[in-house]
Amino acid sequence: EAQVTQNPRYLITVTGKKLTVTCSQNMNHEYMSWYRQDPGLGLRQIYYSMNVEVTDKGDVPEGYKVSRKEKRNFPLILESPSPNQTSLYFCASSRTGGYEKLFFGSGTQLSVL
């Protein structure tokens, strides 16, 4: 089954404790991206990647890192989480980027205390 898998589904952590949210797709998609969703603000793009070793900043990249060492994986790294990063995070992929539909993961609800 074609899917984007995110883990974990829920995560509670404390300020400053490094964490990684994993994202994997099994569709051989070139394009992958991360979004955060906050009430009243819709989805905002954090980072995106057009292919292996190619990553670019989205609208709200501060405080986040990503890597794309393999085509299928695109982890989101918070080196030193802060409470304002409490949010619902989504990973998404598409075959070639902006010209195609996005496939979304189920989301990761992150709470930073």
**CA 74 – CA 23 distance, rounded (Å):** 5
The phi, psi pair for 84, rounded to 5°, reads -75, 0
Q: Is 1 in the site for another protein (CB under 8 A)?
A: no
x/- binding map, residues 61-100, to another protein, per CB under 8 A? ---------------------------x-x-x----xxxx
Binding residue (CB under 8 A) for another protein from 24, 25, 33, 93: 33
Q: Which is nearer to another protein, 18 or 108 (CB)?
A: 108
Binding residue (CB under 8 A) for another protein from 50, 67, 72, 73: 50
Helices and strands, number each (H, E), in the chain: 0, 11
Q: Is 48 in the site for another protein (CB under 8 A)?
A: yes
**CA 24 – CA 70 distance, rounded (Å):** 10
Cα dihedral: 56, 82, 44, 26 (round 10):
60
Q: Is 11 in the site for another protein (CB under 8 A)?
A: no
